[in-house]
């Protein structure tokens, strides 16, 4: 049986903490940007994501689950995210482009 050393486990924990910090920062940044748009009277398109606290948390949970499924089941990110984005009322071209971007980032990381 092969086990990870303490150093490797430490690196994994540090990586997860960094990803969590970036995710929390992104939520606050997008919510701040959304609040500025609302205050200035910006007219949102019907498919624009409104970054309320509830939507931000939901999107974070959905992306975590999607990333987990993509990594552990070996399916591409677009297979998981495209139907999800379309269900969230995104334009199909936007969903497709986002899915391809996710595949690019996953391929680089892998």
In a domain, 103, yes or no: yes
Give the global pTM. 0.65
In a domain, 1, yes or no: no
In a domain, 92, yes or no: yes
The DSSP code for 48 is: S
Give me the residue label for tokens 């910006």.
Answer: 42
Higher-confidence residue of 79 and 15: namely: 15
Task: Report d(CA 56, CA 86) in Å as an integer.
Answer: 17
Residue-wise pLDDT for 31-50, tens only, equals: 999 999 999 999 988 777 78
In a domain, 71, yes or no: yes
Residue-wise pLDDT for 63-86, tens only, equals: 777 777 777 777 766 777 788 888
Give the containing element (helix H, strand E) for 26.
helix 6-39
Domain count, the chain: 1
Is the pLDDT assigned to residue 1 strictly greater than 60? no
Q: What percent of the chain stands above pLDDT 70?
A: 94
In a domain, 49, yes or no: yes
In a domain, 104, yes or no: yes
> Residue 103 sits in which domain range?
6-109
């Amino acid at each position: 049986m092969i086990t990870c050393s303490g150093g490797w486990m430490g690196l994994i924990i540090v990586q997860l903490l960094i990803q969590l910090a970036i995710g929390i920062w992104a939520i606050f940044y997008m919510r701040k940007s959304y609040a500025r748009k609302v205050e200035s009277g910006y007219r949102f398109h019907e498919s624009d994501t409104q970054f309320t606290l509830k939507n931000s948390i939901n999107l974070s949970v959905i992306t975590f689950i999607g990333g987990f499924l993509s990594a552990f089941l070996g399916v591409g990110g677009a297979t998981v995210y495209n139907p999800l984005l379309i269900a969230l009322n995104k334009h199909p071209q936007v969903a497709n482009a986002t899915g391809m971007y996710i595949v690019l980032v996953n391929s680089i990381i892998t």
